[in-house]
Amino acid sequence: MHVPTRSFFQLAGVAVIALISGVHGHSWIDGLTVVKDTNANPLKNTTTNKGGPQNAVLGYIRAYKGHVDATSVYRVEAPKLDVNICRESQRNPTENPGQFPPLSASPGDSIQGTYLENGHISKPDAADGTPGTIYWFGTANPKPEDTLANVKQWTTDGKGGDGRGRLLEKPSDFDDGGCAEKDNGTPISKQRKAAGGGGACKSVFKLPEDAKVGSKFTVYWVWDYSNHFGPTKKGHTEWYTSCMDIQVVAPKGKRFWNGSAKFRGRL
């Protein structure tokens, strides 16, 4: 089939633009894992008998369809943050496909979320830019119309803003100090890999002790990347979010997972 010359170059131009714009993908929560039970005991991988989740992923954000930028990333650029905190596909609890279920956890559990740095740490766009700050907010009474501006007022004591939710963990750096894109040739990637790090970034929050067993507890991961281009670009607004639900279950014995790292059971 003959393709007109003009159409060919138009298509090529689109492909180049897509390639350039995709050099730095953005970030979102790719998976959730319970890393400590209510007795503060590290979980055990029964196939290796080693501590820690061993890269296990036991739960996912709403409407997760795999590691796909187009279906996961949500950017907020409104200066007043007066827009919905969730992307449209994540504004209501979803029945995730069987391979991407929501996390189940018990009151008091420590939960780890993982996300890729995608060059925001190892390949910064500005020498004086910073990777930003991570926040975890949670509520037992979510509303589809929740805005980032409203949620951002929630505090650890549950009294901030409209009082429907709370800040689950003190703000932390996007850069956890050990994560980096694998084998991207940058000094940071090489250094962290040599030190036993590299790979996905990790951030932990605690499911409230008063989370009601049998209910769903909604969690908002919020990343402030407004210093993306450093202080030279004053007033720049750039935030990202992921919205998810935790199925709250009663603590019964020790949790475990099998070698596939996607099954969760209880002894």
CATH number at residue 95: 2.70.50
- Flag whether 219 is in a domain: yes
* Whole-number pLDDT of residue 127: 79
Mean pLDDT of 30-41: 75
Structural domains in the chain (count) = 1
Residue 147 has pLDDT above 70, yes or no: yes
- Flag whether 15 is in a domain: no
- Flag whether 198 is in a domain: yes
- The model's pLDDT over 152-161, given as tens digits with 9 standing for 90+, comes to 999 999 999 9
Domain enclosing residue 213, as ranges = 26-266
Of 20-34, 76-90, 243-257, the one with minimum mean pLDDT is 20-34
- Flag whether 124 is in a domain: yes
Mean pLDDT of 38-42: 53
- Flag whether 21 is in a domain: no
- Flag whether 63 is in a domain: yes
- pLDDT > 70 in the chain, percent: 76
Of 249, 247, 214, 241, the residue nearest 95 (C-alpha)? 247
* Whole-number pLDDT of residue 36: 77
Q: Tell me which long-range contacts 210-215 makes (C-beta under 8 A, separation of at least 24).
A: 210/107, 211/107, 211/140, 211/246, 211/248, 212/140, 212/248, 213/106, 213/107, 213/248, 213/249, 213/250, 214/248, 214/249, 215/140, 215/248
Model-level pTM? 0.80
Tokens of 1: 């089939």
Q: How does residue 4 score in pLDDT terms, banded at 50, 70 and 90? A: very low
What rounded mean pLDDT belongs to the chain?
A: 82
